[in-house]
Amino acid sequence: MAELRTVFTAALLSAAVACAGGVRLPAPALDAAPATGTQTVVLAGGCFWCTEAVFEELKGVTGVVSGYAGGKAADAHYEMVSSGATGHAESIQITFRPADISYGKILQVFFSVAHDPTSLDRQGPDWGKQYRSAIFYQGEEQKKVAEAYIRQLTEAKVLPKAIVTQVVPLNGFYPAEAYHQDFVKNNPDHPYVVVNARPKLAKLHHEFPELLKKGK
């Protein structure tokens, strides 16, 4: 059984690399100004297990927290969000050093690898408003860069369908339960991880090797 699982996993990852062929999405023509210290960005693009795993591998990223954003409730937990009643989306809060990786580069990876920005309220097997595509901006610069990048990709017609990613202000971020944090790292052989997360990581390694942390 273990040998069959290994063969199955290897086949999935090989297929992911093959699908990753071709030209990756262009980098943003407009990027945020260089800065010192650290900054944060909150993104939603389907199940946070997958998006968290992608961004944890990037150099310059010092931390990624899975959580919930975009809802009207004053608090959020998994059962509430999964019901769709609160309006939150499964999201990740990325802390990064702009001196090592820019906000624009993070958006490039978000649109190229982490999720499908043309899929409305659905990513892979997960569907509902809680799996929508969104950029929760903090400040006018993040908003300006995100909107400019969406216009750039739309005008270049590099995607087969229209981008549905929302660009909205961040009105709160609520960390998810402890068992959701580092889920892919802690559960590498979980069936959902093998089918949905690991192909994204394979594509990341194929398309953005220069952005990976050493040893990744």
CA gyration radius for the chain?
17
Is 47 part of the annotated catalytic residue set?
yes
20-23 own/partner pairs: CB under 8 Å, 24+ apart: 20/202, 20/203, 20/206, 20/207, 21/206, 23/158
Output DSSP code: residue 118: T
Amino acid sitting at position 195 = V
H/E element holding 201? helix 198-207
Residues 6+ apart with CB under 8 A from 215: none
Cα 104 from Cα 22, distance rounded (Å): 21
Q: Which of 32, 43, 44, 47 is catalytic?
A: 47
Q: Which token pair is 156?
A: 């270049």
Catalytic residues: 47
